[in-house]
Structure 1
Amino acid sequence: MLKINSPLVEVCFTIFRLKQLYRRGWLRSGIPQDRCESVADHILGVTMLAMIYADIYHPDLDQVKLLRMALIHDIGEIFAGDITPDDPISKGEKYILEKASITRIFSPLQLEREYLKIWEEYERGDSPEALLIRQIDKLEMVIQAIIYEKQENINLNEFYHSARSYLSDPLMIDIFTRLENLR
Structure 2
Amino acid sequence: MLGLLGRNGAGKSTCMNVAMGLLPPRRGTISVFGEPVGGLSPEQIALRGLALVPQGRRIFRSLTVRENLIVAAKKPIDAKHPAWSIDTVFSMFPRLNERREQMAAHLSGGEQQMLAIGRALMGNPRVLLMDEPSEGLAPQIVGEVMATIRKLKESGLSIVLVEQNPQLVFDVADDIVILNTGQVAVLSTPSQLTKDGVDLQQHLGVF
Tell me the TM-score normalised to structure 1 length. Answer: 0.31
Tell me the TM-score normalised to structure 2 length. Answer: 0.28
Instruction: Specify which structure has the bigger relative contact order, considering alpha-carbon pairs within 8 angstroms and separated by 6 or more residues.
Output: 2
Report the structure, 1 or 2, having the larger helix content. Answer: 1
